[in-house]
Structures are given as structure tokens and as C-alpha cells.
Amino acid sequence: MRLQVIGDPVLHSKSPVLHGAMLSALGLDAAYDARVVRRGELPDYLRWARDHGVAGFNATMPHKEDLLPLLDGIDPAARLTGAVNTVCLREGAWVGFNTDGAGALSALGEVLGFDPAGSTVTLLGAGGAAKAVALALAQAGAERVRVCNRTLERAVELCARHPRLTPAPFDPDTLERLCRGADLLVNCTSLGMEGCPRQFEGFSFLDALPPHGAVFDLIYHPAETELLAQARRRGLRAMNGLPMLVWQAVLALEHFLNRPLDRGAMAAAASAALEHKQLF
Ligand code: NAP
């Protein structure tokens, strides 16, 4: 079996390590490698992949949205999100899935014991990752998800996709107001990411979270962003994006193999491989 991850850039991707570890834990004779595919090259890649025995692939930027019109079938969650990160060849048809949202929920459950049902969430950002996570939270029963974004129109467009999503601007007063009573704050912006020149202007909005409130930063490089450090300093529970990265890969592998796996064992194998490689 041959599997790939495609994107541009893609050579830094952790997917070969994650999937390689899970495939060898399963004792499967399968190869998973990274391939640079530039914007506009997707139709050529799909032809090439079919001719070269690729059974499935993960997609990262800039392809997650561009793939949709090129596939033969799209899973409802991916259709709602408007993006795919996992594509499988099923009986000759390319079928797309999105495991980012479900991966985030699994990670939140595993690390924080967080159950979205009935919860109030404040979510920062309205880009690709924010869409997947906000919609997954709403579909899993979150009572309200307030989506704060610098470009308000993008938040408005995202929130039109589900009645329990509400758009809001991204400014210190709004963040503080919306952190009051929130069970969870999720950062889906690139603020604080390695290589991102910008940082949050301040962190006083964290003081408005209730004591049981938790902070989930999708960023995993660095492992502890300033947002997470500030949250922990205030005694709040906090987690980074590594568990989500691991869980989206576990769920992608289930799609590739088209069968349920021992998810805990797969996540453990993938996490151990990341630690072992000391990638950070
Ligand atoms: P994206 O589509 O480019 O979205 C970036 C978001 O950040 C947008 O909402 C953007 O707001 C906001 N932003 C950027 N600079 C800002 C600033 N100076 N002030 C306020 N907001 C700002 O990126 P993405 O793919 O969604 O990724 C977002 C983050 O999630 C990245 O750090 C990425 O590494 C992480 N991520 C993690 C995982 C995981 O598995 N853990 C998976 C996917 C992504 P505007 O709309 O106003 O531009």
C-alpha cells in the first residue's frame, strides 16, 4: 500500500513520522512519503497517484479547499467545512474527508476530559483550522461558539454555516467580554506560532475565564506558546496542538484502511514516534 502527504511546502510535515509509526505498529507493509505538489498541479497529481498505486493521501496547504471540486465524493463533515485533509481511492473513486475537527474533539476529550455538549466556547480565528474546529464543536453539541476574528467578514461567513456559531470582532474588550463564563478558549490564529512575527497585544482576557475554564492552543511549535504559559500562570488548564495533530492522523488512517483501529494504541504509537524523533 502506498500513501502520501501532499502540499507546498510539505517536507517539514510530521505526517510521514506519525503514519509510519502507526503502520509499523500494525505490522503493515505500507509506505507513506511526502510529495511537493504546487498550487494548480492537483489534476496532474490525481492522475499520477492513480497510475502509481497511491491508495490515499493527506493534503495540507494550499490544497485543502482546491481539492473539493476535483473529487468524486466528499464526506458531509468535509463538505460543511469546505476543506478536505484526507483523500482515499475507494473502488476507483477519490473520496475526501476532513479529520481536523474530529481530531480536535478527540484531543480535547483525551487531554482535558472536555465534553462539548452544552458548553460555551470562545474561538479565535476564522481560517481553515478554525472552520473545522468551530463546526465540529457546534455539531458535537456546544451550546454556543463565539468566533472572534480580525477580519470580521470571515467570521460572519463561517458562522452562517451553523446556528450555534456567533461572529465577533477580535479586540481586547470583546475578548475579555466573551471569555466571561466560557468553558473553553481555543486559539486557531497563528499568533504565537514559531515564525509568526505577531503576538497577542496582551493576555488580560484570560483573567475573565472562570476557574474551570481551559485554554486550547492549536499551535504546537513552540510546544508552549505565550498564551499557554500565561494561562498556566493563572492556574488554568491548558493544552497545545500536538494531541490534535496526532488524533487527526489516527482518524485519517482509519479512512485509508477503511476499518476501525485501536485508536488509543495508534495515538500512543504516533506520539511516541514524535517524541523519539525530538522534532522540536
Ligand atoms: P489560516 O487559514 O491562515 O488562518 C489564520 C488565522 O489567524 C486567521 O483567522 C487570521 O485572521 C488570524 N490571524 C493571523 N494573523 C493575525 C493577527 N496579527 N491578529 C489577529 N489574527 C490573526 O491558518 P490555519 O491553517 O487556520 O492555521 C491557524 C493555526 O492553527 C496555525 O498556527 C497552525 O499551525 C495551527 N494548526 C494546527 C493544527 C493541529 O493539528 N494542531 C492543524 C491546523 C492548523 P484574518 O482572517 O483576519 O486573516
What would the pLDDT profile of 56-66 be if each residue is shown by its tens digit?
A: 999 998 999 99
Q: What is the mean pLDDT of residues 93-109?
A: 97
Q: What is the mean pLDDT of residues 234-240?
A: 97
Confidence of residue 278 (pLDDT cuts 50, 70, 90): low
pTM: 0.94
Confidence of residue 245 (pLDDT cuts 50, 70, 90): very high
Written as one letter, the residue type at 108 is L
The CA distance from 153 to 151, in Å, is 6
The yes-or-no verdict on residue 280 having pLDDT over 50 is no
| Ligand 1 atom at minimal distance to the Cα of residue 125 | 9
Kindly give the distance from the C-alpha atom of residue 258 to the centroid of ligand 1, in angstroms, as a whole number.
31
The yes-or-no verdict on residue 195 having pLDDT over 90 is no
Residue 277: the pLDDT is 77
Confidence of residue 276 (pLDDT cuts 50, 70, 90): confident
| Ligand 1 atom at minimal distance to the Cα of residue 241 | 41
| Ligand 1 atom at minimal distance to the Cα of residue 129 | 26
Q: Which of 99, 108, 150, 203 to mutate to test the pocket of ligand 1 (most atoms within 8 A of CB)?
A: 150
Confidence of residue 269 (pLDDT cuts 50, 70, 90): very high
| CB 59, CB 6: distance < 8 Å | yes
Q: What is the mean pLDDT of residues 88-116?
A: 97
The yes-or-no verdict on residue 157 having pLDDT over 70 is yes
Kindly give the distance from the C-alpha atom of residue 178 to the centroid of ligand 1, in angstroms, as a whole number.
19
The yes-or-no verdict on residue 272 having pLDDT over 80 is yes
64 is catalytic: yes
Written as one letter, the residue type at 247 is W
Written as one letter, the residue type at 152 is L
> For every residue of 192-236, which 3-state class applies, written as one string?
CCCCCCCCCCCCHHHHHCCCCCEEEECCCCCCCCHHHHHHHHCCC
The CA distance from 15 to 250, in Å, is 10
Buried b vs exposed e over 106-144: b needs ≥16 C-beta within 10 Å?
Answer: bbbebbbebebeebbbbbbbbebbbbbbbbbbbbbebeb
Q: What is the mean pLDDT of residues 52-58?
A: 97
